[in-house]
Amino acid sequence: MGGGGSSTRRVTFEADENENITVVKGVRLSDSVIDRMKEPSSPSGRSQHRSASGAVDDEQLKKRIAEELALERARRDAEAQKRRLFGRLLERERISSNEHLTRAILRERAATEEERQKAQRF
């Protein structure tokens, strides 16, 4: 296969109805490649190695997804805890400001009553 030139080729990949065989259209193979593909592979050959590594990759992927889900869950829990804490702080602040306001109103009422009594005396 000559690789020179800047020709554009269209290559398509399809799977058979059982999805066991990948059909590649638009690719030319040399006779030596075809011969190597026809050679029977040994039971401990590449195909088994690939499926074993595929299983390992799947396990690693599952583990990574589980770790990411756990991290996301922990992040959401931390955010919820922050919101609850912030809500408690706001509630305490509201109670405190209400107490200050109540005291100020009582002081003002006392001062007004005192002024009213002074005005009655005069």
SS3 25: strand
Contact assessment for residue 25 and residue 14, using Cβ atoms and an 8 Å cutoff: yes
Q: Which residues pair with 25 in a beta bridge?
A: 12
Q: What is the pLDDT of residue 49?
A: 45
pLDDT of residue 9 exceeding 80: no
pLDDT of residue 2 exceeding 70: no
55 against 95, higher pLDDT: 95
Q: What is the pLDDT of residue 34?
A: 75
Mean pLDDT of 21-41: 73
Question: What is the rounded CA–CA span in Å between residue 37 and residue 25?
Answer: 16
Contact assessment for residue 11 and residue 27, using Cβ atoms and an 8 Å cutoff: yes
Domain regions of the chain by residue span? 54-121
Is pTM beyond 0.85? Reply is no
Question: What is the rounded CA–CA span in Å between residue 7 and residue 13?
Answer: 19
Helix residue ranges per DSSP H, the chain: 31-38, 46-121
Q: What is the pLDDT of residue 22?
A: 67
Q: What is the pLDDT of residue 86?
A: 92
Contact assessment for residue 38 and residue 29, using Cβ atoms and an 8 Å cutoff: no
Average pLDDT across the chain, whole number: 79
